[in-house]
Structure 1
Amino acid sequence: MSKVCPFVPTRDMVTSVAFYRALGFAVVHQDHTVAIMDHEGATILIQPHYVEDWASNWMAQLRVDDLDDWWKRTDGLSATYPSIMLKPPAMQPWGIRVGFLSDPAGVLWHVLEG
């Protein structure tokens, strides 16, 4: 079995770790160089490096079992993290229902069922 475990940029490790924990990711390991986080087998590595052009063009897709149930985790997030973007799940022109959100560093996530 192969897995892709992408490195995710951050402006602030504490803020990013808290954000991903609010979305249901668990901290597997954290030190000053990396935070390894897991969401039901989907692993990301948050690194304390930030380049605006890279972060604002970095995208990832998270597939979940129940999109509507998972999306409830975003309730109240914009009050805590005012810089994030949230677009609730909607059918896209390519025929898949997707919710979009950005993290505090500007990383764009596509969240869908499947």
Structure 2
Amino acid sequence: MPLSITSLKPYVPSKDFELSKRFYTALGFTLSEGWGGTADFSLNGHAFRLQNYYVQDWANNFMFVIGIEDIEAWHQRAVELLNSNTFPGMRVKAPEPVDASLVLHVWDPTGVLLVFVQ
């Protein structure tokens, strides 16, 4: 029998746990409270676990790729959040072509890089 997995849930660091929970909720993910200093976020059957844990070198090197269908919609949402001045430390880079894809870079308030790829 070949190896398989039924789910995958990375643990994402947060410098300010409450701020990060508000950020990911505002970005469009659904929050469900976790346990032991964690919170789960999901969207369209994909999930990650935010943890109330921070090491600067790790957070600044943590990133995940998110496959999307509408890069303009995600860019617009990210810019709205950025312009709200509600999430200090957040950054957004305009979409750019990379090979045959369009890529949007968004940094959460902790410094975690979200790489949206259409």
* Pairwise same-fold verdict (TM > 0.5): yes
Q: 1:63 aligns with which of 39, 60, 67?
A: 67
How far is the alpha carbon of 1:60 from its aligned partner? Answer: 0.3
How far is the alpha carbon of 1:31 from its aligned partner? Answer: 4.6
Aligned to 2:19: 15
Q: 1:85 aligns with which of 91, 94, 110?
A: 91
Q: How many residues align?
A: 112
The structure that has the greater radius of gyration is 2
Aligned to 1:97: 102
Instruction: List runs of 5+ in structure 1 lacking aligned partners.
Output: none
The letter of the residue matching 1:48 is N
Runs of 4 or more off by more than 4 Å in structure 1? none
Is residue 41 from structure 1 mapped to residue 16 from structure 2 by the alignment?
A: no
Instruction: List runs of 5+ in structure 2 lacking aligned partners.
Output: none
Q: Distance in 1 between matches of 2:70 and 2:23?
A: 20
Aligned to 2:111: 106
Q: Distance in 1 between matches of 2:71 and 2:47?
A: 18
The letter of the residue matching 1:42 is H
The letter of the residue matching 2:110 is A
C-alpha contact (below 8 Å) 2:27/2:81 kept by paired residues: no
Q: Give identity over the alignment, percent.
A: 31
How far is the alpha carbon of 1:97 from its aligned partner? Answer: 0.7
Is residue 73 from structure 1 mapped to residue 77 from structure 2 by the alignment?
A: yes
Q: Distance in 1 between matches of 2:79 and 2:58?
A: 27
Instruction: Give secondary structure in 1 for the equivalent of 2:73.
Output: helix
TM-score (norm 1): 0.88
Q: Distance in 1 between matches of 2:56 and 2:86?
A: 21
Q: Deviations over 1:41-60 (max 9, x none)?
A: 12010001100000000110
